[in-house]
Amino acid sequence: MAAPVKVAIISPNQGAYGGLEAYVLALARFLAGRPDIKVRLVFKRVKGFKLRSELSAMVEQAGIQAEFVRRAGWDLARTAAWADVVHVQNASPDVVLLARIFARPIVVTIHFNFLMPSSLHKVLWRLAAMAAHERLYVSSFVRRTWEGETRRAHSRMVHSFCGQPGEGLPPGERRGFAFVGRWVENKGVDILVRAYGRAKLDRQRWPLRLMGTGPMEAEVRRSVAGPAAAGIEILGFVPDERKTEVIRHSKWMVVPPQTNEDLGLVPFEARCFGVPCIVTRDGGLPEAAGHEALLCEPGSAESLRAALERAAGMGEEEYAARSARTKDELRSQLTPMEFYPELYSTLAGSRRCKP
C-alpha cells in the first residue's frame, strides 16, 4: 500500500475565529478521517495576532491538533519540508517561497479579492499566486479580480465551504430571521438592526436573532434597548451546534455586508437546511446565496427593510418552493470534499514520479 500523502494546511490567522478558520478546520477534520492522507494544520500568526477563546474552543471541538507558528520562521520551514503537498490559504509569499525551496507542490486557495491599491505586497501576492501549481478561488468574483474574464491554466473556482446539505425543519416550523458574523463595521449588523426596527411586520412571528461578537457589540446592544427594536434577541457568540439549531429554526438568513465580500460562508450554511437568504449585492454574496435569495443594496437600511417586509409577506406555498429549490441548487453548486484528496494525490504522485 502506498504511503499516505502528507498535506500541510497553512492559514494566516490573527487569533480570531471566522469563515476562513471554519473552512480549514472542517477540511482538516475531513482529511484526518482518511487513511490515504496525513494532515497537519498550521495557523501562521500575522500582525496583530491575539489568540481568542472562541478560536481555541473551536479547535478543541474539531478534535484537530493545530500549531500556531511565526511568519517565515523555522517551524514554518519544518512544516514545508515535512509535507508532500502544501495547501496555503491566500498567496502568502513566505509560505510559497519555502515550499518552492523544498520543491513541494503548492495549492493556494485565494479567499480575498484583488481590488486593493497597488503596493509591493500586492506584487508579491500576485507572484506567489502564479508560482502555485493549482490556484483555487473561492468565488467567480474573486477569480475575476485576480485574472480577469479569461480563466488561466491551473486555475478554478472552488467554494471554500466543506459542509453538505442536511435535514432541515419543515417550513411551517420555522420562524423569523437570523444573522451570524463578526460585529465589525461594514458587515451590516448595525444596518440590519435599523432596517428591522423600521420594518412593518409582526415581531412575534418574525423575531430577529443576532449571533456573533466584535467591536460593535456595545453599540448594537445600545441600539436594541429602545422600543423600536422589539423582537430582537442578542445571542452573542455561540458554538456550532447552537448556531446550527438557530439557523434551522429560522425562515430566512440575513447577510448584509458592504465590503466587497469575497464569498460568504453563512449563506451556504443556511442553504444546507433549505433556509433561503436575504443578501446584499456585494462581491461574491449573490453566488453564495443562489438564485432563490432576495437581494438588496449594500449600505441601505431602506432597501434591506423592503427585503425583510417582502420575506415576511411571502405566502407559505411560495416560501416552501423557494426553500426546496435553494437546497437543491446547492447540491450541484458545491464541490465534493473528495476533490481535495484527489488533487493532493495527483500532485504528490507527479512529484514522486520525477527522476
Identify the CA nearest to 341 among candidates 88, 30, 82, 20.
30
> pLDDT grade, residue 255 (50/70/90)?
very high
Place of cell 465551504: 161
CATH code for the structural domain at 5-161+335-353: 3.40.50.2000
252-274-258 Cα angle (round to 5): 45
Q: pLDDT band for 351, please (50, 70, 90 cuts).
A: low
Position 353 confidence tier, pLDDT thresholds 50, 70, 90: low
Q: What is the pLDDT of residue 228?
A: 60
H/E stretch holding 309 reads helix 301-312
pLDDT at 350: 74
Given strand 134-137, what is the order of strands in its sheet?
66-69, 37-45, 5-13, 85-89, 106-110, 134-137, 155-157
What superfamily in CATH does domain 171-333 come from?
Glycogen Phosphorylase B; (3.40.50.2000)
- The pLDDT value given to residue 354: 56
Kindly list the distances between the CA atom of residue 230 and the CA atoms of 195, 243, 282, 292, in Å, as whole numbers in the listed order.
Answer: 12, 22, 28, 28
> The cell 515550499 sits on which residue?
99
Least confident of 18-27, 40-49, 273-282, 294-303: 18-27
Residue spans of beta strands (DSSP E) within 46-112:
66-69, 85-89, 106-110
Residue 81's pLDDT band, with cuts at 50, 70 and 90, is very high
- Maximum average pLDDT range among 111-125, 294-308, 326-340: 294-308
pLDDT at 355: 46
Whole-model pTM: value is: 0.84
Task: Work out the mean pLDDT of the chain and round it to a whole number.
Answer: 93
Percent with pLDDT over 70 in the chain: 97
Q: Distance between CA 99 and CA 9 in Å, rounded?
A: 12
Q: Is the pLDDT of residue 62 over 70?
A: yes
Q: What is the mean pLDDT of residues 326-336?
A: 91
pLDDT at 352 over 70: no
Residue 227 pLDDT: 67
Quote the pLDDT of residue 157: 93
Q: Report in angstroms the alpha-carbon separations of 194 from 17, 300, 344.
A: 26, 10, 47
Q: Is 145:111 a contact under the CB 8 Å cutoff?
A: no
Q: How far lies 328's CA from each of 164, 169, 254, 275, 317, in Å? A: 11, 15, 20, 11, 17
Q: Looking at the chain, which residues constitute the CATH 3.40.50.2000 domain(s)?
A: 5-161+335-353, 171-333
Burial tier of 74 (Cβ tally within 10 Å: 0-12, 13-18, 19+): exposed
The residues facing 255 across adjacent strands are: 279
E strand map for the chain: 5-13, 37-45, 66-69, 85-89, 106-110, 134-137, 155-157, 177-180, 208-211, 232-236, 252-255, 277-280, 294-296
**Which of the pair, 240 or 178, is modelled with greater confidence?**
178
Asked whether the predicted pLDDT for residue 326 surpasses 60, the reply is yes
328 vs 273: CA distance, rounded Å = 10
Helix H or strand E encompassing 266: helix 266-271
Of the listed ranges 228-232, 286-290, 344-348, the least confidently predicted one is 228-232
Kindly state the percentage of the chain with pLDDT values over 90: 77
Lowest mean pLDDT among 135-144, 160-169, 191-200, 233-242: 160-169
Is the pLDDT reported for residue 191 higher than 80? yes
CA 284 from centre of chain:
11
Average pLDDT on 52-70 reads: 91
> Could you tell me if 341 and 5 are in contact, meaning their C-beta atoms sit under 8 angstroms apart?
yes
